[in-house]
A and B are shown apart, each in its own frame.
Chain A
Amino acid sequence: MMVRNRSLIRRLLTVDLPMLAVLAFTLAPYLWMALTSITEKSRLFTEGPSLAGATLANYTRLFNTVGFGTNLIDSFIVAGGTVIVGLSLSVTAAYAFSRFRFRGRRLMMLQFLLVNMFPLVLLILPLFILMKTLGLVDTYLALIIANSTVAIPFSVWMMTSYIDAIPRSLDEAAMTDGCTRLGALRRVILPLCMPGIIATAVYIFITAWNEYLYALTLGGRNVKTITVAIQTLIGEYEVEWGLLTAGGIIGAMPATVMFLFVQKRLIAGMTQGAVKG
């Protein structure tokens, strides 16, 4: 009993306590923002953020006066569109990478990896010129295309690793039963890697939702995503921290919630490649 107690205290001191410290560092800024957002305007600068007299006034103002609702819709359309484009283009490519050995396979896989390494500035300048020439600036399509530059390569890699985990014998069994390659992909592989597809979709959604520089450069009056809206708030309501932090909480909410749901599978897929290295 003594020994067990002592080892428990030891664990509390060497594991639980330091872990709490790390978590405090991780969560404190976020919680501080949340607390500020529900503090009454008049109290904020006199007493500082506090739970006493908590109010949702900042949130209602955000939607009624500032018009955050339309920004949320814009972000949803852009992020949703990017998910559709990213997934639909990458599924067959991932299947080919996973199931076939062909000339140029390695090179093409590396090409997709390379795309994600390139500096965004190198891409954002010509994309703006391109969109301007095509008359697409300030449209959903422009933002979906820009976000796809990241989404397609990422989802090709993720989907390849998920399909790799499904035994080839299943495709072969389906094909013996009379399925074509594409039939096997559609009827057998896709349903089996649905959890992987969902994780990839969520990741693409989060990245597109969080994206700021493309949205700033290629968006405008008609298409203004939540990130750009928050940044505009910072400029317009400089000292109204209650309102600003409420905007921050709303902007971060979808990504945080979705991420917590799929984090396990997502992390498994993302770290797999690195662990092998």
Chain B
Amino acid sequence: MPQTRALTTPIGRRILPYAMLSPAVIVTLVIVFLPMLQAMWMSLHDYVLFRPKSFDFVGLDNFTKALADPVFWISLRHTVLWIALTVPAQMLLGLITALLLNQQFPWRGLARALVIIPWALPSVVIALMWVWIYDSNFGVLNDFLLRLNLISHSIPWLADPDTALYAIVLTLTWQGFPFFAVMILAGMQAIPSSYYEAAAIDGASSMRQFWHITLPGISGVLLTATLLRVIWVANSIDVIFVMTGGGPGYTTYTLPLYAFIKARTGLDYGYGSALAVCFTILLLGFVILYLRRAGKNIG
């Protein structure tokens, strides 16, 4: 049936959807997919910006160079650590916030509006205010901990190699947990209240209700949000770039940051692109998982 209809519909109507799509599709092809192909092409070349004339094909040399580069492995380790700490912290805090926002209390609307603020702030501003909070001489964090006698002397949170990465993880957690809260809350509100009523009649405690109704009900949202967050957290380099620029030493380098710095300050676009391509390949698994989930929803 659809086939015969397709044959009988006038050609104008059959190409209409494609005509309507073409502006957006063509522009994205030109400004996204072509440059990406170019990045892959660059990664196979020896291309340093201060020698623009030389663009020598070197095959996979940049990639083998990366595998032998200790900074590559340091950055990769940080990327994994960074995701493994930030995303669960964001999720846990987001879950708690969503559970609270799902209760009945008079100022719920206000609380929900205010909780999302970090999400709307520019990352540069976020970086700036946390650098001020962490400041070793006048920062409020040191002041606070000193007064509580939790530490005996000021700690230069961002300049100390042992704490810098964790300080940034806290900042990113602060930035990203509202996203989880909002997503999880939407998931919770989609659970029919009759489930809870039935459970209450059967005498289930609120803890049991959480384990057997809420958690299964939000598992889908939780997975989707986690995948999205892993991808975004992995990609986000602006906060680190402003807060520490990767330092002290290489202690806050992540893989995309390394690629960016290589190209920006080292002007080594060939090697930078190769690092970016490596990172993309590593991330691809999560992207595919996410796309599969999203693809199921397309009606």
Contacts and interface: CB of A to CB of B under 8 A. Distances in A.
Interface of A: 11, 14-16, 18-19, 22-23, 25-27, 29-30, 32-33, 36, 44-45, 48, 89-90, 92-93, 95-97, 100, 102, 105-106, 108-115, 117-130, 145-146, 148-149, 152-153, 156, 181, 206, 209-213, 217, 226-228, 230-231, 234, 241, 244-245, 247-248, 251-252, 255-256, 259-260, 263, 267, 270-277
Contact of B264 (A118, A217, A227): A217
Contact of A209 (B118, B122, B138): B122
Contact of B132 (A14, A241, A251): A241
Residue of B31, B101, B287 ringed by the most chain A CB atoms within 10 A: B31
B21 A93 contact: yes
B27 A148 contact: yes
Contacts, number: 272
Interface string B35-47: 1101100100000
B21 A22 contact: no
Contacts of A206: 120
Contact of B24 (A100, A152, A231, A247): A152
B237 interface: yes
B128 A121 contact: no
A228 B241 CA distance: 12
A277 B224 contact: yes
B260 interface: yes
Nearest to A93: B24
Residue of B120, B129, B231, B273 ringed by the most chain A CB atoms within 10 A: B120
A126 B260 CA distance: 12
Nearest to B173: A25
A100 B190 CA distance: 28
Interface string B262-299: 01100001001101110110010001001101111110
A274 B269 contact: no
B11 interface: no
15 contacts: A48-B140, A89-B23, A96-B20, A110-B298, A120-B237, A123-B36, A124-B260, A149-B31, A209-B122, A211-B122, A217-B264, A263-B113, A263-B116, A271-B182, A275-B220
A106 B260 contact: no
Nearest to A210: B122
Interface in B71-110: 93, 96-97, 100-101, 103, 105
Contact of B117 (A48, A119, A247, A256): A256
Contact of A274 (B21, B111, B122, B186): B186
Given A29-B130, A114-B291, A255-B121, A126 B186 contact: no
A92 B280 contact: no
A117 B244 CA distance: 25
B133 interface: yes
Contacts of A260: 113
B242 interface: yes
A121 B237 contact: yes
B231 to A, nearest CB: 5
A267 B234 CA distance: 23
Contacts of A96: 16-18, 20-21
B165 interface: no
Contacts of A36: 132
A119 B114 contact: no
Contacts of B115: 22-23, 26
B156 interface: no
Contacts of A241: 132, 135, 138
Contacts of A102: 14, 17-18
A234 B35 contact: no
A20 B295 CA distance: 38
B215 interface: no
B241 A106 contact: no
Interface in B25-70: 25, 27-28, 31-32, 35-36, 38-39, 42
B122 A115 contact: no
Contacts of A125: 39, 42, 259, 263, 269, 272-273, 276
Contact of A18 (B35, B100, B221): B100
Nearest to B35: A126
A241 B128 CA distance: 10
A29 B174 contact: yes
A108 B20 contact: no
A184 to B, nearest CB: 12
A272 B20 CA distance: 24
B235 interface: yes
Nearest to A217: B264
B224 A15 contact: no
Contacts of B259: 121, 125
